Amino acid sequence: MAAGVAPVISTECLNKQLKNRSSSVTVLDTTWFSSKDAMSEVFSKKHIMNASFFDLMFGVQNSKVYPRNLPSQRMFEINVRGSAVNTDSHVVLYDATGKCGFFTAGRVWWMFKLFGHENVSVLDGGLEKWVANGYETTNMSLKKREGDFSVKGINEVWIKRFDDMKDNLTSKNFQVCDSRTNELYKHGHYPGSVNIPFFSLMSEETRSLKSVSQLKNIFADTGIDLTKPIVTICNSGMSSCTLALVAHMCGCPHVAVYQGGITEWKFKGGPLLECEI
Q: Which residues are catalytic?
A: 234
Cβ burial of 222 (10 Å; 0-12, 13-18, 19+) is middle
- Cα-Cα-Cα-Cα torsion 69, 70, 76, 79, nearest 10 degrees, comes to 20
Name, in order, each residue with C-beta under 8 angstroms of 75's C-beta and a sequence gap of 6 or more.
58, 59, 60
Q: d(Cα 262, Cα 221) in Å, to the nearest integer?
A: 23
Q: How many CB atoms lie within 10 A of CB 15?
A: 16
Q: d(Cα 156, Cα 152) in Å, to the nearest integer?
A: 12
Q: d(Cα 106, Cα 113) in Å, to the nearest integer?
A: 11
Contact between residue 66 and residue 264 where contact means Cβ atoms under 8 Å apart: yes
Contact between residue 8 and residue 14 where contact means Cβ atoms under 8 Å apart: no
